[in-house]
Amino acid sequence: MSILSIVHVDLSPGLKNEFRKSVGFSLCEVLRNNFLSWKGFFKKYPNYSFCFYIITKNEVEEIEIKGPGIFKKDKEVEYSIFIPNRKYDLLSYVETVFDGLHKILSIYKVEENEIQEMKMQLLKSLSN
């Protein structure tokens, strides 16, 4: 069974990502609701799960993408999105995370309008 997961990691001592919990759950829910439509991913990795690590780190100045890590035994594909450790408001945090997601999802031919729609779904869920 293919599932999608998101893990948030802070690699900077004393860092407190205030959006980690509030955005993390909603983001995972939005991505999971759209996951099965990512045909490019399933064409390349049938029956695999997809895991995103969102990592905040002091030394990162621009978004960095690492991956894919492909784990055949576990049937999982993993990417890490390293984001800069800076002060974010909610909108800039979501924009930053989606910049990283866009870079990854475009590899699997997820359309720009679908990515934007997921971002809008997330913002709507966070405003409720």
Q: Contact at 8 Å (CB) between 93 and 27?
A: no
Beta bridge partners of 50: 4, 77
Task: Say what percent of the chain tops pLDDT 90.
Answer: 72
What domains appear along the chain, each with residue ranges and CATH number? 4-127 (3.40.390)
Task: Say what percent of the chain tops pLDDT 70.
Answer: 96
Element housing 98 (H / E): helix 90-105
pLDDT in tens, 10-32: 777 766 667 777 898 899 999 99
The alpha-carbon radius of gyration of the chain (Å, integer) is: 14
pTM of the predicted model, to two decimals? 0.92
